Structure 1
Amino acid sequence: MTSNQPRPRTRLSLRSNSVHYDSLSTEQPDSDTPFMRTNPISQKRSYIAVAVLCYINLLNYMDRYTIAGVLLSIQNYFGIPDSTSGLLQTVFICSFMFLAPIFGYLGDRYNRKIIMIAGMIVWIITTLGSSFVKKSDFWVLVLTRALVGTGEASYSTIAPTIIGDLFTGTKRTLMISFFYIFIPVGSGLGYILGATIANATGDWRWALRVREYIFYNRSFVWSSLGVTAMAFVTGALAFWTPTFLSRAQVTQGLRPPCKEEPCNPLDSYIFGAITVVTGIVGVFLGTYISKQLRDRLPNADPLICAVGMLSSSPCFFIAIILAATSIPATYTFIAIGETLLSLNWAILADILLYVVVPTRRATAEALQIMVCHLLGDAGSPYLIGAISDALLKYDQESPHWDFRRLEYSILLCPIIGILGGVFFFMTSLYIKEDRKAAELLNSGNNVLL
């Protein structure tokens, strides 16, 4: 073979990562670019995969510090001193430390998804099992905490490599950052939720039990996020709309600025009447639509909620924009938006009841109420006001700017409404499976009883 003749191209198959690389190709793979996979996934599915990994990372660190959140109760229950109590975390960390290299080795050679799922199954079973340990068997709790380290060892070593395969460059850095943000967030929530559940149930063991159904119930999690977004929107609009419309009328010259009390309450009367009527109409309409579709479409309820929120957001956006020119048009779109938003109220309660088993419903309801108010309507009025105050520095004298700065602040509500619609749409993807699981668990409990 002469030197001018093309050399045959040999192909090396790296089986462990399902990679095919042309060893003599003139185009060498970049060091920051993942090898080509035989089954590449779409960008949308890559983002969903990262969201799932972040969510599991959140649960992972919540689990790590749940014990710390109820440690006083554990000490009283088992009658153990501080040194023995510290052993619970020591065995967990040691287990994780020694198993992490093993899972790393396996992850480079075998199917990472299967390895991660297997580790998580052990994690879930041992966490749940540790909540049934008797007072005389503290050593069993120590053993189960050691086995819980299996879950973190399998997950924390493999998940970042999966993200690394899905993204490159700055986008990969950003996704990795999102993933690791959930370490402090999950740690903090582990303390809070562990203590909250223990106080609500009167038993520290429920802090370990409840999460292993409720927080792995995807319909409950996504619908709770949707309820939180809905509470954010309704809380902010309910608080600020009368003031916003009053300032709008001052801007249009329909009334003078209020300098002395009492201020004109007309907008409060009108908005209050609209809220009452649209609330009644929306709730009955949502219930009727749900009854008509539920038998034919198993995921009808969360889809109705998604459509309600996604379609109400443009209405609120148009209402906010039109406030500067037409108050009647603003009230019209507010009424339409509130009716669409009110479709969800009765349905939301029903979703929780049929995706959570009866023995967990009260706790699930309490957690959902806590989250939706804490992150929703408890803070949204203040946040809108804070944004408005921050914009005040641009013009501290003009009544027109008083209206505009509040207008720009309230525009956050339609954005959150769209996000809530997405959360309810995600609920619709899992609700059929979660409802069936709840029914099976409930039937099993009835048999045992």
Structure 2
Amino acid sequence: MSIYEKSVVSNEQSVNNSVLTDIQDDFKIGDDDGGLLQTAFVLSYMICAPLFGYLGDRYSRRWIMAIGVLLWSTTTLLGSFMGSYGGFITFRALVGIGEASYSTIAPTIISDLFVHDLRSKMLALFYFAIPVGSGFGYIVGSETARLANDWRWALRVTPILGIFAVVLILLTKEPVRGESEGSQNLEPTSYTEDIKDLVKNHSFMLSTAGFTCVAFVTGALAWWGPKFIYLGVKMQPGNEQLTLNDVSLRFGIITMVAGLIGVPLGPIVSRAVASYKNNADPLVCAYGLFFSSFFLAAAMMFVTKYVVASYILMFIGQLCLNLNWALVADILLVRERDARKHNF
């Protein structure tokens, strides 16, 4: 798995976010319908992710991911040609299906390649791509839309990158399931048995619930953050010439830098805490979320009066939020494997 492949997938969502106002103006929709575009994506992703997890345990993960990214690229491109809101939101939901395949399966391949601290480091490297891809998407999407004077071209750039991602995935060598931990010839159990075992694993369930909150914050911030900041800054005298593209560019840079620092910082802090605390991973995740909520809320409150302070607080808030990505992925993979290992 490469950072490039993951960043391509993350890039699509932020491209849509960076041109949200143009989409609303084109389809003549308000914030409710604008937010529903993200809801449609999330719902299809949520419904399909368990299905791809099931298929990934039983069939070629490499081919499932390749087909998923190809679906994502195709539906993104076709969605850009839709002339109605109904057609656009339909393809937006289909994009969620394609992305669910990749995001669900890719971490399991990393888990089968590395163990212990090295696995955390590799997951951190992999999850670099979420903030990097998102930040890059804001920049590319807003600039492409500006140059073409048409928001639809922002959606026609990333499918090209998606084709490269498909090629990279097909060139990836798929490891044997459980190879890194010495387990060979694993046979999958039934889906019902898997669910029962996972439900009994309290650490897995609580980690999943906590990460749901992380995903909610990340999605809401990505979808509405640039527009919220733009409207807040416009309330100040002297900012009449400011455009949403300007804000998206700055927001993208902040997101990228916060991710480049925050994602690898999570495992580093966790290893330091582990010297005197047994549950270092969940503690770092919990404190990261707590402080991120404080700084992000402060950034939103200050945006109408103190622009620079708001951007600084936004950066710190996203930095704290990014501490979670690699650590939670490692926790979930370990807990899930422990819960099911005796069934194989």
What is the TM-score when the length of structure 1 is the normalising length?
0.36
Larger radius of gyration: 1
What is the TM-score when the length of structure 2 is the normalising length?
0.47
Q: By percentage of residues, which structure has more helix?
A: 2
Asked which structure has the greater RCO (Cα within 8 Å, sep 6+), the reply is 2
